[in-house]
Amino acid sequence: MRTDFTPPGKVTYINARLLDPASGLDSRGALLTDGRKIVDFGSKLMRGSDGWDVPSGIEIVDCAGLCLSPGFVDMRVQTGEPGFEHRGTLETAGRAATNGGITTMVCLPNTNPVIDDMSVVEFVARRARKAGLTKVYPYGAITKGTQGEELAEMGLLSEAGAVAFTDGYKTIASAKVMSQALAYASTFDLLLVNHPEEPVLAAGGTMNTGETSTRLGLRGIPVMAEVIMVERDIRLAEMRETRLHLAHISTGEACRVIKQAKARGVRVTCDTAPPYFALNETAIGDYRTFAKLSPPLRSEADRLAIIEAIKDGTIDAIASDHMPQDAESKRVPFAQAADGGVGLDTLFALTLELYHNENLDMLGAIHMITDKPARLLNLPAGRLEVGRAADLVLFDPDRGWKIDSGKLVSKSQNTPFDGRPVQGSVCRTVIDGRTVYELSGPSRS
């Protein structure tokens, strides 16, 4: 990990497989940066079959045929700071993110104090700048204190830098409050993001309702808890003609409802997270608390339906849903354990499983964690473009490794993927032209 703040000079990345899902680019070529910006890229920088047209005095990074793409964008991250620094801080989250190729992340407002005031938005921005790692954008809370009762000043929070609005992992239970929030948002063209789970149906539940919950003697959370809230929010958004985003969709039935809403012109989008296309409820095993998530891991049929929804475009993006929890919160009986798993370190490798399993092509998989989430939140990230910030990731799509919770960079290490073999390693992460993470591999000259 590098923390050098020296302004970068001119750097040319040669012998790269350039990937830009936004434009469909997938070809051998080079990319030139000058300071913080991309100034040129493409196969035109090659000279002959083996040579590279690089002017003298420019630093050269030989990518050795590896993939060079826009830095990854994670649209759902709980950092812990301010207020819960024992779980994670903006700096530790930034280190985990850069390790995983994430150059932009958007943090939830469930902090202490809650991000429902301009001063907290400014605090987050200031702390992120000081760390000098992954770029951090905050969500603003929809309701004051994320209590689901009184609307926060979303217009002022937007002016202060909040990119969208959510109560994070808390559902806005009141249809009246959600309707008011959507009406308010339509005035300013703001995006609202809700955690779709009907709280009365989910109350006391610890895992997905089904045979596994019965066998383990655990109270379940039914699929309908998600579907009912998805249906409600879509109807309200349709009535208000307002943008709506639904977070971490986990059920096939919810995907069906969302697909139908999109077909009739509702301005609804959604994301999912790796646990919901890479795991099912059997990962809980004998009460593995690291696999206790919100929403819970679902059935194998739901997992396959999530993959199909990614493939057909119903699901618009993939987020890590990074939710750090300290060891004490997980080393308790399953029913009492805190929900959540870390995901910054593993977002890329798990998303790449969609490519290795032939569900998506390479550009399709990378698109889900670059330009697609960036466009949803109107962020200046996620694509290769002359004049844009040089936020880049160099990766080897075939390099295998095993997820080991004890070796994760995240301060908390509660991953449901502990012990899972994956393919895809980040070799270098570049932010504003600065190399902030480098793994041994590609050579420099």
pLDDT at 2 over 60: no
pLDDT at position 47: 63
Q: Which amino acid is at 286?
A: D
Give, as one character, the DSSP assignment of residue 171.
-
Report d(CA 218, CA 220) in Å as an integer.
6
Taking CA 359 as the corner, what is the angle to CA 19 and CA 427, rounded to the nearest 5 degrees? 40
Which one has a higher pLDDT value, 48 or 392?
392
User: Is 385 strand, coil or helix?
Assistant: coil
CA-to-CA dists, residue 93 to 81, 166, 249, 354, 445, angstroms: 10, 20, 23, 25, 31
Report d(CA 133, CA 367) in Å as an integer.
22
45 — pLDDT class (breaks 50, 70, 90): confident
Report d(CA 102, CA 392) in Å as an integer.
9
Give start-end residues of each CATH 3.20.20.140 domain in the chain.
72-376
Cis bond upstream, residue 82 (ω within 30):
yes
Report d(CA 427, CA 13) in Å as an integer.
13
Tell me the CATH number of domain 10-69+391-407+421-444, given options 2.30.40.10, 3.40.50.460, 3.50.50.60, 1.20.1260.10: 2.30.40.10
Q: Which residues contact 260 (CB under 8 A, 6 or more apart)?
A: none
pLDDT at 4 over 90: no
CA 251 to chain centre: 19
Percent of the chain with pLDDT over 70: 95
pLDDT at position 53: 65
Report d(CA 125, CA 135) in Å as an integer.
9
445 — pLDDT class (breaks 50, 70, 90): very low
pLDDT at 437 over 70: yes
pLDDT in tens, 123-144: 999 998 888 899 999 999 999 9
Q: Is 404 a catalytic residue?
A: no
pLDDT at position 443: 40
Which one has a higher pLDDT value, 51 or 117?
117
58 — pLDDT class (breaks 50, 70, 90): confident
Catalytic residue among 321, 371, 391, 396: 321
Which one has a higher pLDDT value, 444 or 5?
5
Q: Which tokens hold the place of 91?
A: 């700096």
Give start-end residues of each CATH 2.30.40.10 domain in the chain.
10-69+391-407+421-444
pLDDT at position 444: 39
Tell me the CATH number of domain 72-376, given options 3.20.20.140, 2.30.42.10, 3.90.25.10, 1.10.357.10: 3.20.20.140
pLDDT at 250 over 60: yes
pLDDT at position 50: 56
pLDDT in tens, 168-219: 999 999 999 999 999 999 999 999 999 999 999 999 999 999 999 999 999 9
Q: The whole model's pTM is what?
A: 0.95
Neighbours of 83 (CB within 10 A): 13
pLDDT at position 79: 93
pLDDT at 351 over 70: yes
Q: Calculate mean pLDDT across residues 414-420.
A: 97
Give, as one character, the DSSP assignment of residue 206.
-
Report d(CA 227, CA 224) in Å as an integer.
5
pLDDT in tens, 74-117: 999 999 999 999 999 999 999 999 999 999 999 999 999 999 99
pLDDT in tens, 282-329: 999 999 999 999 999 999 999 999 999 999 999 999 999 999 999 999
pLDDT at position 51: 64
Q: Calculate mean pLDDT across residues 24-43.
A: 94
Report d(CA 346, CA 342) in Å as an integer.
8
Which secondary-structure segment (H or E) carries 220? strand 220-221
Report d(CA 313, CA 319) in Å as an integer.
15
